[in-house]
Structure 1
C-alpha cells in the first residue's frame, strides 16, 4: 500500500508539519514565560533526563525562576523559586487547585476519584474536611500513639537481633515495614507481619505506585501515541491496579464481615476505615496506604544517611538524646519538643530531600503571573527540590547543616510551607493534610534509631550513596544497607524494647 498517497496519512502529516507554526502563533497571542527551543511534535520532552527535577533545575538556571515548556501537545510552566511558588500557592491558588489527570492517575485512582487527585470542588472539599477533622485530628492521632510505640519497639528488637549476628539490614525495607504496619493498623486494625508475604507485597505495591505515578509517559503528551503504549507503562499500570484492587477488596470484605459480627457491641476504639464506613461506603484506603508509607520511610532513610555521612551531626544528635532520656529509657513522642537538634536534622533533610520533588498542578482558567499569560489547562510543576537548594535563599545550599534551623540559626521558616522557602509537604489548598501524622512517625523513629544503635554502611563502612531515582517521590538510587550495633543495654531501657 502506498501510504503517502493515502488521504488520511497525508492529512496527519500535514497537521504534524503545522504544529511548530501553531505553537509560534500561540506564543504571539499570549505573553508566555521564556521557553527553550523545542522540536516538532515532542516539544521539549527531549530535555527531560531520567531525573526530571534535576533537568528542570538546570533549565531554570538558564531561563529564570519561571519558564514554559511544551511537552508534546501539553503546555507547561515550571516554578523554581520561593517567590514564584508563592504566586501560585497564594495569589493564584484557586486557579491552580487541580492536579493533572494523567494515564497513570486515571488507571490507579479510579478516574481521579481519590483525595490526592480528585478535581477541586465540593467532593474534594468534603474529603479534605473529613481528613482534617476525623482521620488526622489530634484526638485520632493521640488514640493511636500506643500503636505507633508498639511497632517501633518491635522494629528495634528485630534490628538488635540482626545487629548481634552482624547481619546487614536494608534500612529502607525495615522502615517501610514499620510504616506499613503503623498505617495498616491505624487504617484497618491489621498488621502486615510479613509471615505470608503480605508485607513484601504491600511494599512492592507502594513503590510501584509512586514510581509509575512519577513516570513521564509519552502517551500523556503526544495524543496520537496514547493508545500505543510504547513504553509498556500501560500494561504495568493495569497489572498494578489489578493487584492493588485485589488487596483493597480483601481488606474491605474482611472489615465488612468484622463490622457485621460486632454490630451489637459498643466499639471503644475505631480504626480509620471504621470512621470512613460510619460516614459512607468509601474507597479512600489507597490514599492512606501510598501517602502514609512511602514518604515517611524515605524521609527517615535520607536523614539517617545524611547523619552517617556527617559524624559531627550524628554525635550532636546522640548527645541531645542521651541528655533528655538520661540513657535509662527509650525516647518517646512527648520528648520531641525537647529535642531541637533532632528536629533541625529532620527539617534540613526535608529541605535537601523533599518527599515529592515536583509538585504538579493544572490551571482551571486563564491568569497572569509575573506579567506572563498562563492559559487555562496549563500544567504547572513547582520544583520543590530546586527551591530547597536556591542560593538566593539558603547560605551554602548544598551543605547538610541542621544548625541553620536552630533558634539562633539563619534558616528559613521551616517545613510548613508558609513562606515557601521549602515546601516538602506542598502548599496552598492542596498541601498534605497528613503532615502532622507523618512527622510524628519520622521524629520518633529517627530518634530511636539514633539513640539505640551505631550505624555503619555494610561492606566496610564508607559514606552512604546519596544518588536519587526518578518517581513521584524522591526514591534512593541504591538501598541503604547498614549493620546496626547496639549503643547500650537495650533490654535495660524503660519501657523494655523486647516485647
Structure 2
C-alpha cells in the first residue's frame, strides 16, 4: 500500500479519535449557542476541527488578542485544541471578574505538563480555592514569618555580591541582572530554610555565593522552566500527548524525577540531623 495513503488514513483515524474523545468528555453537548444544555459562551472566531483557534494565535500574542477583540468585542472565547479559554480585555469586565466573582476565578486550571511538575496541583500556588488552599496559606504564612532571618541574611549577601561586582568593574559600576539575582536569593533562602546550607559553601566568606545545594536545585529548575513557559502542543492536542510525539512528556518526567530525588535527599539529611541532635541530648 502506498505510504502517502497510509499517512492519510492515519491522520483521519487520529482526527476521528480526537473528535470522539472530545464528544464523550463534553457529554455530547453543543459548544456555544446555548443548545444542548451548555451555557452560552462569548463570541469567538471561526474554529477549525481538531485545532480550534490554534492556527489563529500568532506572535506577538497581545497583537493577536487585540485583533480578535476588534472583531468580537472585549470578551471572547477561544478553543485551543481540546481546551477552552475566555479572554477579557476590558478593564471594567476584568474588575468585575476579580471583585464580584473573585472566588470563581480563584481556581487554577492546570495543563497536563503543569500537573506533572506541580504534584497534580497540590502546591499553594496551583491548588484551587477551598479548605485545602486556606490551610496551606495559613501554614505558609507562619513558615514565611519564621524565615525572616534567612531572608534578611540572603538579601544582605546579595547586596554584598553586587557591591563587590561593582567595585571590581571598570569605573566602579557594573550592570546587574536583578531578575537572576532575586531568583538566586529565593533558592538560597529555600535551601537555607530546609537544610541550613550556609556551612556547606566552599568560599571562606559564606555570603559570597550560593550553596552547592542551591546551585544544584537551580540547574534542575532551569531544566524544568522551559517546558512550563513554552506552549506545549501536547497540552492542547491529546493525541500528541498520548503518543508523546515530541518526547516532551518523558523529558518533563525525567526532570521531575531528578527534582524529587534531590528534595528527598535533603529531607533524609535533615531527618538524620534531627535524629542525631535528639540522641546527643539524651
Q: TM-score, normalised by structure 2?
A: 0.73
Higher relative contact order (CA 8 A, sep 6+): 1
- Verify: 1:116 aligned to 2:131, yes or no: no
- Alignment partners' CA distance in 1, 2:269 and 2:59: 41
**Does the Cα contact within 8 Å between 1:151 and 1:181 map onto a contact in 2?**
no
1:382-409 superposed Cα distances (whole Å, 9 cap, x missing partner) = xxxxxxxxxxxxxxxxxxxxxxxxxxxx
Distance 2:223 2:62 in 1: 19
Residue 147 of structure 1 corresponds to 153
Question: Which residue in 2 is equivalent to 1:190?
Answer: 197
Q: Which residue of 2 aligns with 1:64?
A: 73
Counterpart position of 2:51:
42
2:221 maps to 1:180: no
**For residues 10 and 211 of structure 1, what CA distance do their matches in structure 2 show?**
32
In structure 2, how many angstroms separate the alpha carbons of the residues matched to 1:169 and 1:158? 12
Gaps of at least 5 residues in structure 1 are 267-499
Question: What residue in structure 1 maps to residue 112 of structure 2?
Answer: 103
Secondary structure class of the residue paired with 2:218: helix
The alignment's TM-score, normalised by the length of structure 1, stands at: 0.44
- How big is the alpha-carbon RMSD for the aligned residues of Structure 1 and Structure 2? 4.0
For 1:216, the equivalent position in structure 2 comes to 231
Aligned twin of 1:243: 258
Separation in 1 of the partners of 2:114 and 2:218?
A: 19
Q: Distance in 1 between matches of 2:14 and 2:250?
A: 30
For the residues of structure 1 that align with 2:231 and 2:187, how far apart are their CA atoms? Answer: 27
1:93 shift after superposition: 2.5
Q: Aligned partners of 1:113 and 1:11: how far apart in 2? A: 33
Between the two proteins, the alignment pairs up a number of residues equal to: 261
Query: What's the offset of the Cα at 1:241?
Result: 0.4
Aligned ranges 1:57-96 → 2 under 5 Å: 57-96=66-105
* Structure 2 counterparts to residues 476-487 of structure 1, below 5 A: none
Instruction: Quote the residue 2:204 is aligned against.
Output: none
Check conservation: 1:155, 1:178, Cα contact below 8 A: no
Q: Give the C-alpha shift of residue 44 in structure 1.
A: 0.8
Deviations 1:324-345, CA, capped at 9 Å, x for gaps: xxxxxxxxxxxxxxxxxxxxxx
Determine the C-alpha separation between the residues in 2 that align with 1:104 and 1:149. 32
Measured at CA, do residues 70 and 263 of structure 1 come closer, stay the same or move farther in structure 2, by a change above 3 Å?
same
Cα shift readout 1:255-274 (whole Å, capped 9, x = no counterpart): 111221223789xxxxxxxx
Secondary structure of the 2:121 match is: coil
Would the alpha carbon gap of residues 145 and 201 (structure 1) be closer, same or farther in structure 2, given more than 3 Å must change? Answer: closer
1:11-410 to 2 correspondence within 5 Å?
A: 13=16, 16=19, 25-29=30-34, 30-49=39-58, 52=61, 55-132=64-141, 134-137=142-145, 140=146, 142-144=148-150, 146-164=152-170, 171=177, 172-191=179-198, 193=201, 198-263=213-278
Evaluate the alpha carbon distance shift between residue 197 and residue 265 of structure 1 in structure 2; reply closer, same or farther with a 3 A threshold. closer
Gaps of 5+ in 2: 202-208
Query: Equivalents in 2 of 1:255, 1:130: separation in Å?
Result: 20
Deviation at 1:111, TM superposition (A): 2.0
Compared CA separation, residues 197 and 257, structure 1 to 2 (3 A): closer
